[in-house]
Structure 1
């Protein structure tokens, strides 16, 4: 084991791809999940079959108590933390802003913004050199929707990712002196199960003609960008963004 990584929302899609790639590169991986234990354990089993170290930990990051418990579980398991991938995110059915209620918006922000803040806080408390840490990296999984707005579909989701972008820049400047780098990836139209949550499982195929590269992306392509930002190869990069959006 070289380093320890927590991936929130690690049981599916981009999160699962990140866990698997991280394990192949020598990380011990905490696969966080909210409710799908079977999927998380499947990721863990795949890692262990390849000789890696992994553990699945249930926690809804929208709950501060559960998010803190997630980090405490990693403390007990490995006694260190080197990388946090803030990947957990929720999406609700496609809807125009005029039809949204406050409860829906609150659910989106609770996970995508508050959860990311709390997890980043817990990571900084463990990584900061002034607190006895060794430094580390935080990679936030944003979205190209933060730039494009997702009009007519997911403006609330897009706004939450805009907030995540601001967290990335602000926190990067705040903790650079502590040996912590904070960066983000902005995926575009990626083939994952998340689109089904919005009511359109085939969304990527519908819109891919509008992408300059004329195709949807794969979760593994996003994971590769995340792992670069987590690695020492990006040691002089903080407060930055990698677009994985096919030119969008």
Structure 2
């Protein structure tokens, strides 16, 4: 897969401190992209730099941003435009999972946290990135969605998904709305919804176990086939390798033998 035409151009990856975001930043730097990682944990992103070669590490820039906070998004993208001349590739990866069922007591703040991050984070980051993408000959927005954004999983042994699935259904609609808006505005910006199945990342560590035996959860998780974060990063590289006239609107990637 060649993404040589993107070498030297600017990529922004949200949720870059771990998991898919971290793996994507590493792959981008390997392919010569100026890579800006956004996350709340800047110190974790600095650890990414240490894993890179000296040449690759010069391409990586860590910037603090909580994508659930619109003001922070506006500020950081303005800084990116000033320092780097704008954005060519945006990977909306940051996401959180629900800790409570929607019918649980005191679940409102948890649901707001999920929607602010998974939905408004995607909308607001894309809006700010498009301000500079308008000036580019070619740009690409990739929303990290989920298979849960296309079908509602029901697994009795699993902790609550709560409003997480609804937030990912929203991303499916947002990606199509972005595609249509880019066409109407005559913008040469691709948008892809990338929907992985189960990926071994930190997100599962934050799931609700208050009503579930943690040992049973661990036992159940041990039986699930997982993708690695690098599998998703490789898929993102593939999307960028497609020629300018080819748009993949939806890419679903599952681990072999995933049963849900």
Same fold (TM over 0.5): yes
> TM class by shorter-chain length?
0.7 to 0.9
Which of the numbers 15, 28, 45 marks the counterpart of 1:9?
Answer: 15
Alignment of 1:81 with 2:91, yes or no, is no
Partner of 1:139: 142
Note the alpha carbon deviations across 1:142-193, whole angstroms, 9 max, x for none: 1111123244621301110110111101101211431000001111111111
The 5 A counterparts of 1:8-47 are 8-34=14-40, 36-47=41-52
Distance in 2 (CA, whole Å) between partners of 1:78 and 1:147 is 36
Q: Is residue 240 of structure 2 the alignment partner of residue 237 of structure 1?
A: no
TM-score when normalising by structure 1: 0.87
Which of 64, 71, 93 is the equivalent residue of 1:65?
71
User: What is the DSSP-based 3-state SS (H/G/I as helix, E as strand, rest coil) of the residue aligned with 1:181?
Assistant: strand
Q: Match of 1:122, SS?
A: helix
Quote the residue 1:109 is aligned against: 115
1:135 Cα deviation from its structure 2 partner:
3.1
Residue 179 (structure 1) aligns with: 188
Larger radius of gyration: 2
Residue 80 (structure 1) shift: 2.9
Give the equivalent residue in structure 2 for 1:206: 220
Alignment CA distance shift 1:77-1:47 (3 Å) = farther
Instruction: Return the TM-score normalized by structure 2.
Output: 0.83
What pairs up with 1:206-225 in 2 under 5 angstroms?
Answer: 206-207=220-221, 209=223, 215-225=225-235
Distance in structure 2 (CA, Å) of the matches to 1:57 and 1:205: 37
In the TM superposition, residue 208 of structure 1 has moved relative to its aligned partner by 6.8
The gaps in structure 1 that reach 5 residues or longer are none
Q: 3-state SS of the aligned residue for 1:7?
A: strand
Decide whether aligned partners of structure 1 residues 3 and 184 sit closer, same or farther in structure 2, where only a CA change above 3 A counts: same
Bigger Cα displacement from structure 2, 218-227 vs 195-204: 195-204
Residue 43 to residue 234, structure 1, CA distance change in 2 (3 Å)? farther
Farther-moved stretch of structure 1 (178-187 vs 65-74): 65-74
Structure 2 counterpart of 1:119, from 118, 122, 125: 125
Unaligned 5+ segments in structure 2 are: 1-6
Kindly state the Cα deviation for residue 235 of structure 1 after the two structures are TM-superposed: 4.2
Measure the CA separation in 1 of the matches of 2:118 and 2:13: 14
> Could you say what the CA RMSD is over the residues aligned between the two structures, in angstroms?
2.3
Is the 8 Å Cα contact of residues 98 and 162 (structure 2) preserved in structure 1?
no
Residue range with higher mean Cα deviation, 101-110 or 41-50:
41-50
Superposition pairs of residues 143-182 of structure 1, within 5 angstroms: 143-151=146-154, 153-176=160-183, 177-182=186-191
SS in 1 for 2:112: helix
